Amino acid sequence: MSESSTAETSAQETALSKIRNIGITAHIDAGKTTTTERILYYTGVSHKIGEVHDGNTTTDYMAQERERGITITSAAVTCEWNGHRINIIDTPGHIDFNIEVNRSLRVLDGAIFVIEGVAGVQPQSETNWRLADRYNVPRVIFINKLDRTGANFDYAFSTLKEKLDIVAIPLQLPIGAEENFIGVVDLVEMRAIIWEGGELGAKFHYAEIPDDLKEKAAEARQNLLDTVLSQDDAALEQYFETGDVDVASLKKCIKKGAISGEFRPVLCGTAFKNKGVQPLLDAVIDYLPAPDEVEGIRVAPPEGEEVDESFLRVIPVDPEGKFAGLAFKIISDKYGTLTFVRVYRGVLKAGDTVLNTTKGHKERVGRMYQMHADKRQEVDHVGAGDIAAFVGLKDTGTGDTLADSADPVVLERMQFPVPVIDISVEPKTKDGVEKMTLALQKLAAEDPSLQLKTDQETGQTILSGMGELHLDIIVDRLRREYGVEANVGAPQVAYRETISKAHTETYTHKKQSGGSGQFAEVKITFEPVERNGGISFENQVVGGSVPKEYIPAVEKGIRVQSSTGVLAGFPTVDFKYTLLDGKYHDVDSSALAFEIAAKACFREGMKKAGPVILEPIMDVEVTTPNDHVGDVVGDLNRRRGIIQNQETAGSTVVIRAQVPLKEMFGYISHLRSATKGRASFTMQFHHYDPVPRNVADEIMAKSA
């Protein structure tokens, strides 16, 4: 290797160790966007702090986000801190936009989990935590809003163990509480950090630990040492010899445990009052990994095959290898389509051609940008560890792999949530039909949790999404961004059908009307599988009674027909079908004949396999004042809800229940009137369950 290329390599390696790709995630209203705004201010990216309530934040740049005060789409921003580059993705907290959290965590090396100082761990925090577990993302926890009335660090901390079942280790303790919160005790360096006023809070000073906290701090420090020193033998030896360890060794131990997930470091503060953000940035640098300090990404198993994950090849982050990256987000704006890509291996220059290994075609990369929310900065190349937006890709979707054709790897695929609610949309004018179709195709390409289909009977376009708010935003974007005024039908539940017992059906398709005819016979067993088991196919034909070239046609026929169930026309899920036997004719048989026979066999066989209608059951959490608990519980019971538990949190009670989605339309207005506007609720999909007989009859009567 030449000297110049060696120098270039070491520069890339140095750059890699100075990169942090992190996400900020939490339950709705826990303070993610506010925390991101403070980070951008203190790192010098923004010269003015934006506020969610003023509608002028950097990462909430869509009109719908600013009006509602919520994050809808994840936004990428880049900043510098202590010589390191931090790529941050601010993700939504509302369950309807969970797809954004899912795909962001897929490509990040670390995350800040923001926990609310009053409520502690909330439902969406739990959902996001499990997602981060799935993708093995190292995390630090920031207990926020400690200036709020009712904030309690100890209570919020206790919910980490109780609800997330983790080993949480405080690296800080709060000094003061509620409006008297002034700073933190740093347990790593055993000193107090005091902020001077609550304005922009950039000024702080170090001080002695207050006398009333010295004993508690010493105890917490000992707990910290007992937990983390097992990560490093040299640090443990130093501790046994001297009774303490130096700060660098302690930080090294904390980082090692944070990356492995043995424990989770916890910091605290109040982002809104600008206290605690600078130490949080230090913690990102000190405890979250650079791209080359985590395992990398697995190569996907062959389509349709189940393989033990431990046998899958892993692509480490490597600046020297052949290019490989994962497209994780698509945005269509006035300049064209932007494809966000996380680079895992190699270097790519603007103008290069890569292979979309997921779809098997080549793509030329036009321009490349480092994104700052909705602003962009052009770059001429990207390397391993980078997150950038590509322009010019013709047919690359969320979850597709882009790779060098010399090593055409397919990276581990993403899993997307199931849509549970449908609406019909049609343009108000005939001129708007084509416009609406193109707009919806672009929106569906951006958002894999949004699905489009056409109702065969009515010709209406049906949108399926994660909730009422999700679909409301889509319709609003149709109007504002694409100029399409649409008539929208009332929300409908996305029911499914399945079977409850096994049945074997034989069907013969015979059509002879002069000339060459059609002939195919299939014998298929249909049997139920566990919920969320999907649809699977097995071929048990022996002796060539169905020629091999016709087997795919049988499989296709069933899969196509399964989109329309036998009871009320809903998609059929969670069953296995096995082709046992059949017959063919040398002249009259064809792939089409076997596909038709399979479809008819499905229609006949499913009717005899105990078909049932399934409905989405939602996890509902209602937070209500004590004096309205009886009203709330009684109402949930009337809605066919099953109460899971009740917890008291200060003067409020948190009620958890599982309730059919059908019964939850318009619930918020009813809840507000029943509790004089004092209660709130969150809801997320949990599972599908068979509907009661009377509800099934009602559904079938409507579809008849």
Domains for the chain: give ranges and CATH numbers: 19-289 (3.40.50.300), 298-403 (2.40.30.10), 421-494 (3.30.70.870), 497-609 (3.30.230.10), 615-703 (3.30.70.240)
290 pLDDT more than 80 = yes
Q: Annotated binding residue at 146?
A: yes
Q: Are β-strands 611-625 and 652-660 bridged in parallel, bridged antiparallel, or unpaired?
A: antiparallel
Q: Buried (b) or exposed (e) across 41-80, using 16+ Cβ within 10 A?
A: bbbebbeebbebeeeebbbbebebbbebbbbbbbbbbbbe
Residue type, 180: N
Residues with Cβ within 8 Å of residue 547, at least 6 apart in sequence: 584, 589
Question: Does residue 513 register a pLDDT over 70?
Answer: no
Sign for the pseudo-dihedral over CA of 46, 48, 50, 51: positive
Q: Write the CB contacts of 436 (distance below 8 Å, at least 6 apart in sequence).
A: 425, 426, 427, 461, 478, 482, 484, 486
**32 annotated among ligand-binding-site residues:** yes
pLDDT class for 12, splitting at 50, 70, 90? very low
> What is the predicted pLDDT for the residue at 671?
85
Q: Does 144 show up as a binding residue in the annotation?
A: yes
What is the pLDDT, as a whole number, of residue 632? 92
Q: Range with the lowest mean pLDDT among 61-70, 311-320, 376-385, 554-563? A: 61-70
Q: What pLDDT shows up at residue 410?
A: 86
Instruction: Give residue 62's pLDDT.
Output: 44
Buried b (16+ CB within 10 A) or exposed e, 246-256: eeebbbbbbbb
Q: What is the mean pLDDT of the chain?
A: 82
The answer to whether 234 is a known ligand-binding residue is: no
pLDDT at 50 over 70: no
Q: What is the pLDDT of residue 506?
A: 94
- Encode pLDDT of 95-128 as tens digits: 555 566 676 777 888 999 999 888 888 777 877 8
In 3D space, the residue among 398, 422, 420, 423 whose CA is nearest the CA of residue 411 turns out to be: 398
Q: What percent of the chain has pLDDT over 70?
A: 86
Instruction: Answer with the residue of higher pLDDT: 534 or 467.
Output: 534
Residue 296 has pLDDT above 50, yes or no: yes
pLDDT in tens, 627-675: 889 999 999 999 999 999 888 866 778 899 999 988 888 787 788 788 8
Q: Do residues 354 and 404 make contact, with C-beta atoms less than 8 angstroms apart?
A: yes
Q: Name the band, by pLDDT with cuts 50, 70 and 90, for residue 2.
A: very low
Highest mean pLDDT: which range of 1-5, 49-53, 675-679: 675-679
Banded pLDDT at 288 (limits 50, 70, 90): very high
Q: Output the pLDDT for position 4.
A: 35
The confidence band for 504, taking pLDDT boundaries of 50, 70 and 90, is: very high
30 is in an annotated binding site: yes
pLDDT at 258 exceeding the cut of 60 = yes
33 among annotated binding-site residues: yes
Q: Which of 294-308, 538-552, 585-599 has the lowest mean pLDDT?
A: 294-308
What is the average per-residue pLDDT within 186-202? 80
Assigned token pair, 259: 């990356």
Q: Is the pLDDT of residue 214 over 80?
A: yes
The whole-angstrom separation of Cα 664 and Cα 644 is: 17
pLDDT digits (tens, 9 = 90+) for 330-360: 776 666 778 888 898 999 988 889 999 988 8
pLDDT > 90: percent of the chain: 31
Is residue 28 a known part of a binding site?
Answer: yes
145 annotated as a binding-site residue: yes
Q: Is 613 annotated as a binding residue?
A: no
Residue 59, pLDDT > 70, answer: no
Beta strands in 117-263 (DSSP E): 139-144, 168-170, 172-175, 183-186, 191-195, 204-207
Q: Find the mean pLDDT for residues 175-193.
A: 90
In tens, the pLDDT along 66-92 reads: 444 444 444 577 888 888 888 887 665
| Residue 670 confidence (pLDDT) | 85
DSSP assignment of 226-265: HHHGGG-HHHHHHHHHHSS--HHHHHHHHHHHHHHTSSEE
pLDDT, mean of residues 480-499:
84
535 appears as a binding residue in the annotation: no
Q: Is 661 annotated as a binding residue?
A: no
Beta pairing, strands 387-391 & 368-372: antiparallel
pLDDT tops 50 at residue 300: yes
The mean-pLDDT minimum among 241-250, 466-475, 629-638 falls in 466-475
DSSP state for residue 307 in the 8-state scheme:
-
Decide if pLDDT at 252 tops 90: yes
Confidence band of 53 (pLDDT split at 50, 70, 90): very low
Answer whether residue 535 shows pLDDT above 70: yes
pLDDT tens digits for range 119-138: 888 777 877 888 788 888 99
Residue with the larger pLDDT of the pair 431 and 307: 431
Establish whether 136 is an annotated binding residue: no
For 20-44, write each residue's pLDDT tens digit.
988 888 776 667 677 877 887 777 7
pLDDT at 265: 95
Instruction: Report the predicted TM-score, pTM, of the whole model to 2 decimal places.
Output: 0.69
Reported as a pLDDT band with limits 50, 70 and 90, residue 198 is low
CA angle 599–600–604, rounded 5-degree value: 120
CB 270 within 8 A of CB 147: yes
**90 marked among binding-site residues:** yes
